[in-house]
Amino acid sequence: MNHKKQNKKAMDTSGIEIECVELDALKLIANIYALDQRGVVPNNVVYESAAKLAGVPVEQINHLEPIGVAGTKHSVFKRKVRWHQQTLKNMGLLERVERGAWRLSEKGRKHLTKAEPNVAMLAFSTNLGIAIWGACERVFKSINEPITLCVTSPPYLLRTPRDYGNPKNEREYIDFILRSLEPIVCNLVPGGSICLNVSNDIFERGSPARSMYCERLLLALHDRLGLQLMDRLVWESNKPPGPAQWASKNRVQLNVAYEHVYWMTNDPSCVRSDNRRVLLEHTKEHLRLIKNGGDQRNASFCDGAYTLRAGKSFANETPGKIPRNIIKISSTCADKRYLAGLAKSLGLPVHGATMPLALAKFLIQFLTGDGEDELVADPFGGWFRTARAAEELGRRWISSELMMEYVMGGAGGFRASPGFVSAL
């Protein structure tokens, strides 16, 4: 099915072909309970919601047909819903509170619903973008629209998998990342950028030596996708102390404080970055120098690499200070706390690894212009922080997420956005 945004200003999807297939019935019923804020959902609400999601006419809910040898008339639709309720109960995901009213069990509230390989479903949209429930490879292979920037934080290469899963070894991980990014790179405009947040804190099994998968990943991105490295940006945050085994127990490592954001492009000669879009305020000392006509010293440092000229160095008024490539942003923020609270109130799992909004905003401001043609993509949407940053900055966006519950939680951050429509 082709999806076209009615508001042409926001998202021109004329080049986007997204096949939306019917949800598996069990997942459809389970997600009705997960999304409903009341917790306990009466059957009449479930019937109406299931009909809407499945595209069944409302009048079909109460349509009676003869069933069995006796030919007693029943609603076939309602019987199917109740059968799925019993199946979910047998799976331990649903529990009956009273006659005609059910809710998710504790196990059900922690359960993550992964999109099947053939599923690509529009989850929600705004005037500026679309969020899709589905595997990123399938979603972005269906897109034929120029992409200016990809900002994403894929699952990390961890020994103990997260609830949302991750590849088991270096080779699988690198292949997974490249398969996911390849369709985006194919649509990347000349001079467009890929920003990839990866963990630096992966260690060889049973050893305090760090894995070198980051270096292998960089080489693979260059050799197999033709990307060139612009910078290894350092994101310094308030990470918890660790690695516990090697820093706190064996005492052979230091506590970690940063992660990498690899910034790559397909054409450095016309890269679309502009540091004037992310200038910082000058320090008081710098402002004093400008006010006094610049530094009054003549001096040379580092064998002539850095020279001060009296009355000229730091004398010109400039709009701001160029940021360094060490980005200091907290990994926690009010936005993430709000979404965590919203997810809990809906009975949804809290995402354990989400990019802070401020980091995504900085990268989008630095690497895209203000024009309506700028499109920001994120194949690993999570709670859609890249999408949210693009939305607040007035950029168009498209994002995919594999887990239905994260799509539902992330949608909460867009409900006040112009043109918000949810298909969930």
pLDDT score recorded for residue 52: 82
Predicted confidence (pLDDT) per residue in 383-409, tens digit: 999 999 999 999 999 999 998 889 988
**Residue 66: is the preceding peptide bond cis (ω within 30°)?**
no
pLDDT < 50 positions in the chain: 1-23
Q: Is 89 helix (H, G, I), strand (E, B) or coil?
A: helix
Structural contact between residues 310 and 295, judged by C-beta atoms closer than 8 angstroms: yes
Instruction: Tell me how long the chain is.
Output: 424
The CATH class of 25-110 is mainly alpha
Phi, psi of 172 (to 5 degrees): -60, -40
Structural contact between residues 149 and 159, judged by C-beta atoms closer than 8 angstroms: no
CA 211 to chain centre: 25
pLDDT score recorded for residue 273: 97
Radius of gyration over every alpha carbon of the chain, rounded to an integer in angstroms: 26
**Secondary structure letter of residue 328 according to DSSP:** E
Structural contact between residues 60 and 122, judged by C-beta atoms closer than 8 angstroms: no
Domain boundaries, the chain: 25-110, 120-277+325-422, 281-321
Nearest to 403 by CA among 179, 210, 165: 165
According to CATH, the topology of domain 120-277+325-422 is Rossmann fold (3.40.50)
pLDDT score recorded for residue 292: 83
